[in-house]
Amino acid sequence: MIKIQDITKSFGDKLVLSEVSGVFEKGKPNLIIGASGTGKSVLLKCIVGLIKPDHGQAFYDGRDFYDSDRTTKTEIRREMGMLFQGGALFDSKTVEQNVRFPLDVLTKMPRSEKADRVNFCLKRVGLENVNSKMPSEISGGMKKRVGIARAIVNNPNYLFCDEPNSGLDPQTSILIDELIQDISEDLDITTIVVTHDMNSVMGIGERIMFIYKGQNVWVGTNKDITHSGVKELDDFVFANKVMNSLRSK
């Protein structure tokens, strides 16, 4: 479980996040949604420590992340896996080397065990026989899957996904969403997904936090998102034509 409290972040005079608080539970994907430029990605980067917030706190299963010493911080980070928007695969390494990377650097696992683990994770994300390909030789959807395989290879306790569907076709998006949901449930890990894709929201959004102008405006599920009574959320949800037509009916 991850708990955040009063996370605030400004860039110069611009307040991007204002006292955002929330709890992200284990076992199901926790979605952070909102329009572009509302601070979702900044919030995610604050949670994982890539951006230092001006103030606020983040607790990983009770462990204070920001105020802990370097060793504890590193320990917590080594329990994280993250899927970046563009995949962030290492260009100079093959798919297999990319997925094996956390095991090579962070563990003393024997070579054969690493190979088994890499193949297991690649199979888990539906990729086989791509081990020797370079990231430039695979499609955007495959890159995301390799990114997920790399994120889960070291058995993380926390999985973070930044816009996992951006740039993907609807079918591949659904596959990626289902994969994230399955992994969260099977591994019983805390997963946070940042997205503005309504298909994802309706598909896997059992826990949703809506961010508007840097503030946590609404928390709920995909079942009650269409009748939240929050104007900003309605504007966001029904901007989608399909959703709007459903609302009219």
Partner 1 sequence: MFLGNLFTNRETFKTYYKLVLEECISIGLGSLFLVALVSTFMGAVTTVQTAYNMVSDFIPNYVISQVVREMIVLELAPTIIAVIYAGKVGSSMAGGLGTMRITEQIDALEVMGINSISYLVLPKITASIMMYPLLVIIAGVCGMLGGYLAGTLTGIITPTDYVYGLRSSYNEFTVIFALIKSVVFAFLVASISSYKGYYTQGGALEVGVSTTQAVTTSVIAVLIADYLLAQLLLAK
Residues making contact with partner 1 (CB under 8 A): 45, 48-50, 70, 74-78, 80-82, 84-86, 88-91, 101-102, 104-106, 154, 160
Pairwise CA distance, residues 202 & 40, whole Å:
18
Shorter beta-carbon distance to partner 1: residue 104 or 235: 104
> For 94-127, b where at least 16 C-beta lie within 10 A, e where not — what string?
bbbbbbbbbbeeeeeeeeeebeebbbebbebbeb
Give the nearest distance from C-beta 173 to partner 1 in angstroms: 20
Determine whether 57 is exposed, middle or buried from the number of CB atoms within 10 Å of its CB (0-12, 13-18, 19+).
Answer: middle
**Closest C-alpha among 100, 42, 52, 90 to residue 73:** 52
Kind of pairing between the strands at 55-60 and 29-33: unpaired
Shorter beta-carbon distance to partner 1: residue 62 or 105: 105
Shorter beta-carbon distance to partner 1: residue 160 or 212: 160
CB atoms within 10 A of CB 4: 22
**Closest C-alpha among 2, 65, 6, 5 to residue 28:** 2
Shorter beta-carbon distance to partner 1: residue 70 or 241: 70
CB atoms within 10 A of CB 62: 7
Give the nearest distance from C-beta 102 to partner 1 in angstroms: 5
Shorter beta-carbon distance to partner 1: residue 51 or 219: 51
Give the nearest distance from C-beta 93 to partner 1 in angstroms: 10
Give the nearest distance from C-beta 170 to partner 1 in angstroms: 24
Give the nearest distance from C-beta 23 to partner 1 in angstroms: 21
